[in-house]
Structure 1
Amino acid sequence: MVKAVVAGAAGGIGQPLSLLLKLNPLITELSLYDVVNSPGVAVDLSHINTPAQVKGFLPENNGAEEALKGADIVVIPAGVPRKPGMTRDDLFVNAGICATLAQAIANAAPKAFILVISNPVNSTVPVFAEVLKKSGAYDPKRLFGVTTLDVVRAATFVSSVVGKPLDAPKYNVPVVGGHSGATILPLLTQSEPQIPAAILNDQAKRDALIKRIQFGGDEVVEAKNGGGSATLSMAQAGAHFANLVIQAAFAGKTTVVQSYIDLEAAPGGKGVQKEIGSDLAYFSVNVELGRDGVQNILPIGNIDDQEKTLLAAAVKELGPSIEKGVQFTPAPPKL
């Protein structure tokens, strides 16, 4: 019996994400919250013959907390989407939305696993953490920034460059750091299957591949020409990560993934800080999922000189983004 909640369920990511979660046989209750249209989305999804019973909620009558009551997992794509010319950091306007939702979670579902998709993830995850801390409801093991789309893109793009696009599902390319531009660090040398040396040693090809993984979201924003950002691929990535968390927490199936987390969530975080040469509080790193969320934080591992250079750039850019989230002060609630 698993209750999942989607906050921002009527949006471009929220609707396909809600559909994918409705199809998950482990989910028996699905609550959809948004400022508009969520009841209609819920009725639409409720006609699908899978176990999850669906209800939609609006802000009226304390709808957010009503939707969240008893939640086991909350997935949050709420916020303003990117438009051409915008970076993820330009979306810090979403911090206020995140702070409001964090408070509602603290009030109604303090033990839920929280999966943050709302950009800029590098800053919004710290926003969630600070609000939860002030409410005495913070468990770093249960707060995740969803960076799965970077991993999905890396597998897709690597398989294409290697000339085996049909093998994309077989590729596993760890991606660490953060979730925007230069903070995204694909560890090409750790790819399984291995990337041929002829590609890794071809600087132009390698640079182009790394850039495409780091800025793949821009391709979608430009292609949609003002019609939004990556919604369908992000929904798939978010649903996939949510399923891994559910499998670990409720079916005992542990797995290793990458996610943007508080490095104090498990003892291995100290080791990661040594690897990156910084005391950054948050970093996307190898995480072993378990029944309580973050079970272990694993090392980044061996990387080559180019990846070390990219790591230093990622660390430098992440610091101010994290601080921006930590220092964010939500506006007082409207009376």
Structure 2
Amino acid sequence: MLSRVVSKRAFSISRVNPYKVSILGAAGGIGQPLSLLMKLNEKVTDLRLYDLRGAKGVAADLSHIPTNSTVNGFTPEDENGLHNALKDTELVIIPAGVPRKPGMTRDDLFSINAGIVRDLASAVADAAPNAAVLVISNPVNSTVPIVSEVLKSKGVYNPKKLFGVTTLDVIRSSRFISEVVGTNPTNEKVTVVGGHSGITIIPLLSQTQHQSIPEDQKKALIHRIQFGGDEVVKAKNGAGSATLSMALAGSRFANSVLRGFAGEKDVVEPSFVDSPLFKSEGIEFFASPVTLGANGIEKVHPIGAVSAEEEQMLEECKETLKKNIQKGIDFASAKK
């Protein structure tokens, strides 16, 4: 009887794979709610929080939540603080950087956030070369190429484990289309491809079940999805950008990566990744659905059939995206 109980306990424990997760920029507007959501994730048993200041306080606060995980905070004041926050971690999430302000695009953030992301990527390469890296810091179209170039320079680049988190565009699409057609947003699925800024965001409405949306409403819907972040910046009166919705998007994508790590099948999420889809046109990164598995990306899916309107959007997207990607590569290649 005892052996049966022990076997049952061993089985139940084995179903929850223990993962180490590091969040860089954990005390910020995205970082705090993202840290809370990851503390609540049963797959995470070792949560490390890093920020220039405040990470220890966030960690202490979260440590009172009774989930089966430890949480520790690190700052530059600690000896080897960043290294210890990253050492041997399996998943790194990077929301670090400055938020958008009124009138700013994601590209306007480049001059500040690019340097932050470059330095954090270098630390990841040294302390956690095998980790999956999830980049939230904007502009994602440029920061993901920066991370790739840094990892390449350190000899540890794995294209299957680098992701630009575009999930916010996906969840916005579900919400916004449901408001137009009057449905439950939890039942709406919209594939979003391209990039993660303005016109590079392409919601493939032609692949949904809603083909009768009037043209004027459809154009307004597409514009709202592409520039939805502006609504939040304006509503917060310059005091911040999309933090809570972005935290949810980040945690959803992180959970999907961990589900893939754990061996779950058919885990598919759109993400901005090193993609073969348009490499022949000089576009190294592109967002499309990817299947996630034990080693990261198992398959990059094609975008499928699109409408004539979406084909035109795609051409405009590729032109902008190519410039955004090159901007990141050039920054990473330049001397500090």
Corresponding residue of 2:223: 211
Deviations 1:56-88 (A, max 9, x none): 000132211110011010011000000000000
User: Where do 5+ consecutive residues of structure 2 fail to align?
Assistant: 1-17
Residue 127 of structure 2: aligned partner: 108
- Look up the match of 1:162: 181
What is residue 119 of structure 1 aligned with on the other side?
138
- Scaled by the length of structure 2, what TM-score is found? 0.92
1:78 is aligned to 2:96: yes
The residue aligned with 2:32 is 15
Tell me the distance in 2 between the aligned counterparts of 1:136 and 1:254: 30
Deviation at 1:331, TM superposition (A): 8.1
Kindly indicate whether the alpha-carbon contact (under 8 Å) linking 1:247 and 1:254 is maintained by their aligned counterparts in 2.
no
Q: Distance in 1 between matches of 2:220 and 2:48?
A: 41
Residues 99 and 330 in structure 1, CA contact (< 8 A), matched pair in contact too: no
1:151-190 correspondence runs (5 A) = 151-164=170-183, 167-190=184-207
CA contact (8 A) 1:20 1:236 kept: yes
Root-mean-square deviation over aligned CA pairs: 1.3
Provide the rounded CA distance (Å) in 2 between the counterparts of 1:289 and 1:304.
27
Matched with 1:324 is 327
Deviations 1:69-117 (A, max 9, x none): 1101001100000000000000102010001100100000000010000
AA matched with 1:325: G
Which residue of structure 1 aligns with residue 315 of structure 2?
312
Runs of 5+ consecutive residues of structure 1 not aligned to the other structure: 264-268
What is the identity percentage for the equivalent residue pairs of Structure 1 and Structure 2? Answer: 55
Mapped to 1, the partners of 2:333 and 2:73 lie a distance apart of 26
Q: What's the counterpart of residue 228 of structure 1?
A: 240
2-structure distance, mates of 1:134, 1:282 = 18
Aligned partner of 2:273 in structure 1 is: 261
Q: Considering only CA atoms, is the larger Rg found in Structure 1 or Structure 2?
A: 2
* 1:52 to partner: Cα distance: 1.5
Query: Is contact 2:263-2:293 (8 Å) kept?
Result: no
Deviation of 1:330 after TM superposition, in Å, equals: 7.5
Contact 1:4 1:30 in 2 (8 A): yes
Verify the 8 A CA contact 2:21 2:44 in the aligned structure 1. Answer: yes
Deviation by residue 1:244-281 (Cα, 9 ceiling, x = unmatched): 00001124333111000011xxxxx2xx228xx72300
Identify the residue that residue 212 of structure 2 maps to in structure 1: 198
1:58-97 equivalences under 5 Å are 58-60=75-77, 61-92=79-110, 93-97=112-116
AA aligned to 1:281 is: E
Q: What residue number does 1:266 align with?
A: none
Report the CA distance between 1:329 and its aligned residue: 4.0
Are 1:273 and 2:287 an aligned pair?
A: no
2:153 matches 1:148: no
1 CA distance for matches of 2:191 and 2:159? 22
How many residues end up aligned between the 2 structures?
317
TM-score calculated relative to the size of structure 1:
0.92
